[in-house]
Structure 1
């Protein structure tokens, strides 16, 4: 019994002193922004954000038509993150962390984003890229927007419903990496 307590105590000390591996509700794009590589098929950066082009898109469990369909997406303009490439197939992740494979013909390079699903309240859309600027609209979490430009801290966006343009803090969007700029 003394040995098991000693082993348990040693294991506990090892866990406390080991480097911490953080598993949290962080936005999926946070980790991806720290590394990029070239996709083996396209030569484009992986990970990267794209949007859903098709009115109906099937997410499969593997990179071929023979694999089972896991989800059916019916949201053109939905931002998705490509995390892997295999032939004509792209492994994608949505804002909820769901991953699967979609044929590249279903995806578009048009940049869209979603007001952060992690937010608890509406996010202001401003007339200028600064905190004190006038508010032109308030956007609910999960509202999709088209990304026009992004600087270090702000993105100029266009709402797909309502047709309002303005600036929103980049940290409030899923679909743009923290260090990314878009012209």
Structure 2
């Protein structure tokens, strides 16, 4: 007597394309960009001294604002032809031509007077301190730390004090 409603419910889920939560989590794959087949979202850097951020993916779309800092890290959230939809640390976004972006990774220091350590250990000596908002080149990342180069000063910083790197990201 209870089988019929259960069968109808399962049939309804199948028709809607739904699957049980556990199964969905097991089969979920990271999204890939349709143009590059690279993961979305992903971080890159602005390589130009000035980069127009447009309302849509073409030169005919209005320029909403302009990046004025070279090496600014941005997050790519979509791709369309030669255009990439990006978002900055403040969540502002728009479309940028791919030629203005670089895979050379940079991060923004998200903590004032962040200590750069000699090794990825808070007990080691401090090689430098960097101010909030500094853009640093990301050289290497372990599960919890990234090795940075900020204005010639090198050292390790906790990953959770940086913007422009995913928590699970590793880099050799």
Per the TM superposition, whether the score is higher than 0.5 is yes
TM-score of Structure 1 vs Structure 2, range by shorter chain? 0.7 to 0.9
CA shift, 1:102, in A, is 0.2
For the 8 Å contact 2:128–2:154, the answer to whether it is kept is: no
- Given candidates 26, 30, 38, the residue that maps to 1:36 is 30
**SS of residue in 2 equivalent to 1:70:** strand
- Given candidates 52, 55, 59, the residue that maps to 2:49 is 55
Tell me the distance in 2 between the aligned counterparts of 1:126 and 1:151.
Answer: 14
- Given candidates 151, 160, 164, the residue that maps to 1:175 is 164
Q: Please name the residue that 2:133 is paired with.
A: 142
Unaligned runs of 5+ in 2: 1-28
**Is 2:61 the partner of 1:70?**
no
Unaligned runs of 5+ in 1: 1-34
Alignment of 1:16-31 (within 5 A): none
CA shift, 1:80, in A, is 0.5
TM-score with structure 1 setting the length: 0.77
Number of residue pairs matched? 145
CA shift, 1:52, in A, is 0.4
For the 8 Å contact 2:138–2:148, the answer to whether it is kept is: yes
| C-alpha distance after superposition, 1:88-134 (max 9, x if no partner) | 10000011110100000000000110101xx3x32111111101111
Q: Please name the residue that 1:108 is paired with.
A: 102
CA shift, 1:136, in A, is 1.1
For the 8 Å contact 1:36–1:47, the answer to whether it is kept is: no
For the 8 Å contact 1:127–1:136, the answer to whether it is kept is: yes
Tell me the distance in 1 between the aligned counterparts of 2:143 and 2:91.
Answer: 25
* Cα-Cα RMSD: 1.3
Tell me the distance in 2 between the aligned counterparts of 1:67 and 1:144.
Answer: 29
Q: Which runs of 4+ in 1 moved over 6 A?
A: none
Q: Higher Cα Rg: structure 1 or 2?
A: 2
